[in-house]
């Protein structure tokens, strides 16, 4: 993903953040999604195929 696309996405998400709680909720969700994606990629690499694929 290129830097401009990331900046555009960040600006779009920032429009919905109005309170500290909104920011905390967004940060938790982003962290969760990032960790899950990384772990799934690691599992795929380890197994040599996608999850549930044979």
Question: Domains of the chain: which residue ranges?
Answer: 18-54
**Residue 24 in tokens:** 């905390």
pLDDT confidence band for 1 (50 / 70 / 90): confident
Q: Which pTM value belongs to this model?
A: 0.70
The b-or-e profile of 37-50 (16+ CB within 10 A means b, else e) is eeeeeeeeeeeeee
Phi and psi, residue 38, nearest 5°? -65, -45
- Tell me the C-alpha distance between 53 and 25, whole Å: 33
**Residue 52 in tokens:** 């549930």
What tens digit of pLDDT does each residue of 9-34 get?
999 999 999 999 999 999 999 999 99
């Amino acid at each position: 993903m290129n830097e401009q696309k990331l900046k555009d996405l960040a600006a779009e998400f920032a429009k919905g953040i109005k309170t500290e709680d909104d920011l905390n909720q967004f940060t938790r969700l982003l962290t969760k999604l990032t960790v899950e994606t990384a772990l799934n990629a690691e599992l795929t690499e380890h197994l040599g195929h996608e999850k549930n694929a044979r």
